[in-house]
Chains A and B, each alone.
Chain A
């Protein structure tokens, strides 16, 4: 008998993560103080740069779109008891899928080409995740190891393809030619401008809507559908799954397919929504941020949206901060992000335990 770690839902989903963020900012503030800068003004730049201007907000939401997709990808696998660290590689391959579809079907109109591009991303992401999934399910090769290896494979594969196969002959850059115009997902400022609402230009595009729709879909899948039920049984109690006649191997592969497809959303946002071509390293390590996002969001879509917003603020505000206070370099911003990941992910149990203890005591006092 150990002290029960039971929390009211609001404390579990709001209070504990909020405490983690506050603690992380306090520690990050100490770090800023340590290099002789003012943490308060740093915080101001961070918030001002990410939320204070229309343009900044646009960029924040653009990053948030990326993080929602990779966060959902990690979460779906997590519910099946799998730790998918391969979001980076799956998104890279999804980018290849997008490029192959839209640059080869240029004769199609936009309302066909855009959905096909998105499907291409999902299919390639899923396929890249399917191999580690299969190896885990059938051969017991640990998914953490294989997905990491597949990140490297994806990274060298894309370099090879962009340098030797897909590059335009007259270009020196390792990138494909620009996507056809009708394959570009419209920017939000363009769409709103068309109906007379003027907002500052930014990279933010309609993929955000897709990300929110995907969040709803994942919620429905995981918490309401028969398949999601089976996924959670496998993740929570594999021997009960065997008893129930649910095949853990089959669910492992399905969960990885879904996970890889969701990671493909990153490619949709970055390539179809902004870059309009396939280029090297467009994933920028966001696949790994997805792990922190999913952890912090407790693998629940609502939590993931909130955590994605936080990381969006951090990325956009951090860039502004590095610009305004040169002593705080890009690397320092990464350190601050790392501290948040540390508190939200690894040290999450610390606050959970303390809060649970507090609640138990209060209950006892009332009884």
Chain B
């Protein structure tokens, strides 16, 4: 098999540029006359802005603009993907540590920084809420101005939305359950830590504007800028160079509207490259407190799941409320559960705005529900693997009523993971094993267009509005075109990241692009294949029905021709090209709790063996197994890399990552020194990634999305292994050595 076709693992398209540093990120793009922007922020979370004196800052040589809310249209426009609640710059009050109150544009970064220090802001620090408990206290201040959601009965509280999902009658089920296990779990506040910090640039562009952003959803950004500036979409050109990691943190518009207004006011290009510290203040994942009550029958059969999940979101909603609803909706897991009640709340606070993060709200509830499965198994003296297999939904089973039935033979995945971890085999002293299942709903709606051009020499250009932020979309898209149109991979160019050139794509999120954009590209290729069939029929005097175009070749009744041998004579002396368009649509479903059913499920089983140093609390992962049901691996190496990457990212919130706030709502561990992410030295001693392929997904060739699965259930698997090794159950993350040490010490205290 050729490695550049589907199922092969060719060298990554753009990979050499990425590893040698020649790839152009937004910060690498040098426009002439560009002004550098520095944000002005306050040293506290919530404050009333009394006055802003920019006079000293304006005297710094090279300063061209000190922008405040006063320079903007009044009332200052607000925006957001779900609620229009975020102002372009703080208006009247800051709501979180790091929210800009002014911004300086200057000829050099040094001048901008110096001037930013000289902006005098008189302010009064106000009481604020940084925790779920404080936010839910009726005596606490409100984060959001109630007028922003007039008529909402919750407007007088810090609960942005409350979501209720479920089926069956939990109370009835509870009355007949043999065992009820109830526990509370907490999930920490963590940040994405993309290696490329967020970067934004804007420049006047004729009678419109051009925006450069390290964004995952360029078309959504285009729409928001168009609305804010009152420009037609065609006059807003968004350039979205491949981001250096996104993980959900770069999905939605952040500071692009601010730099757009600064560019229009100065008439110059302006750019804002955040520092790592500023990215901590710009994006994070929702933290959560989850109380789960699980009912079992004595044979381990699940009787009910009763889940209450409070997610702490930030000062502005961004997409976080959708994270809460979509993430908590499959909280009962991939199991057959007769009665389920899920109540989840998005709770506003004076903290960094929370947003999408790989796993999209699922790891928070999965941590609680899977840990509780272990509690039930132990109480019933049933093997922890067995209790899961006993309840696991079979393929085709409607385990979530009125949603997509189980779309994989999930038992294969679980058994493979159990086999790879050596489940049930003897353990060395001081070691333990844990195993957990994770499930996530794929995209509930979607719309992707692709254009494919087969040029006269047989080379191909693919236009796709996906953002390749490291997941390898360029490579997979090129492989689809190579497979369908017969061109070698290095004869294929994939064009992305320019809304003036590339057709519309809704977004790069929810592990959708292989499935949705992949199908759009496949359809565009099929349109070209149909044109080739017509051509071949004309050239050879045949009936179209007797011609098949597939696998990069044209099959006539008596022989097979390479596509180029039909294309060249077919195009004739003038040359030209064949153009194919493809569209992939997943419509909304009115009445569905999430607005649409899952396009596919990401299903993963993670199993670990851990060794615990009881003197220090150190947890060493001796072996980490992750198995995902991927339908079909279009590029097996990339599938493994995504799986391993998600697993390692999951080790961050499991073992070490968390924001530490002070009493004024300032992030104390702002930056890389005291916010620790796993390094190569922190990896499990052995990591095994495997996949199950039954070609039963909705994507090209039976593929499913798979970039988040391996992150979903890392925490419960690791905590279960720690429990197995030590007998101690820990219900708060991360499992830092100190936290494990304390739990062990408290265990031995009589």
Say whether A associates with B.
no
